[in-house]
Amino acid sequence: MSRYMDESQSYVNSEAKARRKLVDQRRMQYRRAIESYSEQRLLQQELSDYPELIAANYIAASREVSRVAATPAH
């Protein structure tokens, strides 16, 4: 009978570990999403202080795209 109890306890323990692992994964995913949102907000706020940089980057990127599109394929 003790073997039966040991096997059932290990099943319960492994089930609890799996559940805790899933909860931890969700918690870390949520934390990463919050950090990413916070970083994006901070960057957006910093960029809004310098609108001329946004325009310059846009112009440079559009020139790069048009130059890549204009090169002939071999």
Check the CA dihedral 9-11-12-14 and report its sign: positive
Would you kindly state where each structural domain of the chain is located, as residue ranges? 2-70
The residue type at 59? I
pTM value > 0.75: no
3-class DSSP assignment, residue 21: helix
Q: How far apart are CA 17 and CA 20, in angstroms?
A: 5
- 5-61 residue pLDDT tens: 566 667 678 888 999 999 999 999 999 999 999 999 998 888 777 777 677 777 888
Q: φ and ψ at 21, to 5 degrees? A: -65, -45
The pLDDT score that the predictor gives to residue 1 is 47
pLDDT of residue 74: 55
The span from the first CA to the last CA of the chain, in angstroms, equals 77
